[in-house]
Amino acid sequence: MPLRDQLHHRAVCRLLIHPLLFSLCVCLSLCSSKALPSSFVSSGSPLSGSVRRHPPSVSAQNAMPSSLEIVKVQGKLLTRIEHNSESLATCKRVLLYNHGFPDSSITPNALTHHTEAEPGDAVPENGYFSSRLPRKLCEVLLKKMPDTAFVAFNTMGIPGSTESAPERLEDPPAEFHDKTLTGDMRDIADVFAFLRADRFPEANMCVCGMSTGAFLALAFAAREDLHPKGGLSSCFVFACVDDIPSSVVVDFSPEQLEEANKEGSCPAKFFPYGATDNPQEWRLGKAYIESYQDFPPMPELAAKLLMPVLLIHGEDDKHVPCDHADRLYATLQERMPEGVGGKARVLQLAKIPKGNHFLSSNQPFNKAVSAIVDFFATVEST
């Protein structure tokens, strides 16, 4: 059933059965709250590390949903998985979100807090998200798109995704200094492979991202060697640059580039979640800056994009000006293949009036969400 029809059907059903369903859920909750089966606590697969799942509960507002899972992929990549399907097997689409830099998606202590929480405990107001954009995307898209999962993770070297955590939140993880963009690409591939093998083997997979995470998502989509043919279905990005190698001067000042060249590293501002004073200035190795050159020019990358793509960009973006979106869209129009598997090419650009880099105001954010929902409606109807 096309997405638009699913949404209409879901809305009609809610209107018809909502009062009866609520009463039934309350009764079930009261009856089941006396005992909790031990199967709700498991150790997960060797890839995943510790996992905690909770039964459904309506005993308290914002109760811990059964669909929420916090896991460490390969024992190191802190990952948050939430879906609104009846089960993992019935999930139709998975949105894999990539954060920008310097940024993160998930609070570094999310796994510990989630594991220690009792079933029925209230979810923290932030939902274990450390940034507003992934939190709001997860919240709103799971309300608007049935049978959908939203997955976010912290790349290696970001607090929470480390071999061992530093003693103070203000201190950088040991792996932060040695981060590279190519390493971040491997992290995306690892999380993608885990989701495909252990959670959502049949769902349509979409990779998405913000800023640095946007061009990494686009580059990942173009790398068929990192995902099986047909394994990735679509891509949407926020505030993406028009070319990766040359965008190093967008992300780093001349002073930072000069210091990295002379000293082998430069200070990079980071806002560790929960730190008393922000931002921190952590040293970032020269290898991160050099790794921009490991990516092909955008025309070459675009020629390998074999899936629907949506570009979203705030017209008032001061970090990555909106003319990047215009140039990127023109390049993709010219170089993306016309169609794959007999399907027409889908390439869309949504320029958001009054939208800043983070789409931090409600009206621009809501327009972006509408563009995403319409994008999937188009993709899934072709």
pLDDT at 364 over 50: yes
Q: Where are the beta strands (DSSP E) in the chain?
A: 41-42, 51-52, 68-73, 77-83, 93-98, 148-153, 204-210, 234-238, 265-270, 280-285, 309-314, 339-340, 343-344, 347-352
Q: Alpha-carbon distance 14 to 94, whole Å?
A: 24
The answer to whether 70 and 128 are in contact (CB under 8 A) is yes
**Separation between Cα atoms, residue 364 and residue 225, nearest integer Å:** 35
Distance separating alpha carbons of residues 382 and 362, to the nearest angstrom? 31
Q: Residue 353 and residue 346: Cα distance in Å, rounded?
A: 23
pLDDT tens column, 182-238: 999 999 999 999 999 999 999 999 999 999 999 999 999 999 999 877 689 999 999
- The answer on pLDDT for 323 being more than 90 is yes
Q: Would you say 107 and 274 are in contact if contact means Cβ atoms under 8 Å apart? A: yes
**Residue 72 main-chain phi, psi, to 5 deg:** -110, 105
How confident is the model at residue 3, as a pLDDT? 54
**Rounded to the nearest 10 degrees, what angle do helices 362-381 and 3-32 cross at?**
110
Long-range contacts of the stretch 5-12 (C-beta < 8 A, 24+) = 6/146, 6/147, 7/144, 7/145, 7/146, 7/373, 10/146
Q: pLDDT at residue 39 above 70?
A: no
Residues 240-245, mean pLDDT to the nearest whole number: 98
Distance between CA atoms of 121 and 130, rounded to whole angstroms? 20
Two structure tokens written together for 236 = 């949407």
Residue 228 confidence (pLDDT): 75
The residue with greater pLDDT, 309 or 53, is 309
Give the alpha-carbon dihedral of 158, 160, 163, 167, to 10 degrees.
100
Q: How far is CA 123 from CA 60, 126, 326, 340, in A?
A: 10, 8, 40, 42
| Stronger pLDDT, 211 or 30, i.e. the higher one | 211
53-110 residue pLDDT tens: 443 333 334 444 459 999 999 999 999 999 999 999 999 999 999 999 999 999 999 9
Q: Locate tokens 């991202």: which residue? A: 209
Model-level pTM? 0.84
